Amino acid sequence: MTLKATTDNITTLVATKLTGALPALDASALTGIVAGPLTGASDPTVSTNPSGAGIVYENTTSGQLFICTDADTDNNTWLNVGSGSGDVWQFQGTIEGYIAGGNVVGGSAQNLIQKFLFSSNTTATNLGDIQTISYLTAGTSSSTHGYVAGGNPVTTRIEKFQFSTSNNATSHGNLQVNCHQMAGQSSRTHGYITGGDAPFNDDIKKFSFSSNVTSTNIGTISANTKNLVGLSGSDHGYIAGGTHGGTPYQINDIERFAYASDGNASDIGTLITARSSASGSTSSTDGFVHAGDISGSQTATIEKFSLSSGTTSAGHGNATGARTGTAGSSSTTDGYASGGQTSVNITAIDKYGYASNTTAASHGDLVLVGLIPSGHQY
What is the second-level CATH architecture of the domain 96-377? 6 Propeller (2.120)
Mean pLDDT of all residues in 337-356: 92
270 neighbors 234 (Cβ within 8 angstroms): no
* Residue 104 banded pLDDT, cuts 50, 70, 90: confident
**Does residue 179 register a pLDDT over 90?**
yes
Beta-sheet pairing, 170-179 with 213-214: parallel
Average pLDDT of the residues in 14-37:
68
User: What DSSP string runs through 85-150?
Assistant: SS--B-SSBSSEEEEE--B-TTS----EEEEEESSS----EEEEE-SS--BS-EEEE-SSEEEEE-
Residue 6 has pLDDT above 80, yes or no: no
pLDDT at 2: 61
User: Backbone phi, then psi, for 16, in 5-degree steps?
Assistant: -70, -15
Cis peptide preceding 199, ω within 30 of 0: yes
Residue 112: pLDDT above 70?
yes
> Is the model more confident about 19 or about 241?
241
Across 4-29, average pLDDT: 67
Domain ranges of the chain: 36-88, 96-377
Q: What share of the chain is helix, strand, coil (3-state, %, to 5)?
A: 0, 45, 55
Is 256 a residue whose pLDDT tops 90? Answer: yes
> Taking 70 as the threshold, does the pLDDT of residue 216 lie above it?
yes
Phi, psi of 24 (to 5 degrees): -60, 140
What mean pLDDT is predicted for residues 337-347?
Answer: 90
Give the residue with greater pLDDT, 198 vs 309: 198
DSSP reduced 3-state for 15: helix
* Arithmetic mean of pLDDT, 240-245: 93
Asked whether the predicted pLDDT for residue 248 surpasses 90, the reply is no
Q: What percent of the chain has pLDDT over 90?
A: 66
Nearest alpha carbon to residue 231 among 194, 184, 268 = 184
The predicted structure's pLDDT at residue 283:
95
Q: Which helix (H) or strand (E) holds 247?
A: none
CA angle 281, 252, 301 (to 5 degrees): 50
What are the tens digits of pLDDT across the range 45-96? 877 899 899 899 998 887 888 888 888 887 677 888 755 433 446 899 999 9
Cis before 23? omega within 30 = no
| Rounded-to-integer distance, Cα 312 and Cα 116, Å | 32
Contact in structure between 90 and 67 (CB atoms under 8 Å): no
* pLDDT more than 70, % of the chain: 88
Residue-wise pLDDT tens digits, 267-293: 999 999 999 999 999 999 999 999 999
DSSP state of 65: E
Please give the residue that has the higher pLDDT: either 236 or 37. 236
C-alpha to C-alpha distance for 164 and 172, rounded to whole angstroms: 18
The answer to whether 148 touches 137, Cβ cutoff 8 Å, is yes
Give residue 87's pLDDT: 43
Calculate mean pLDDT across residues 150-158. Answer: 94
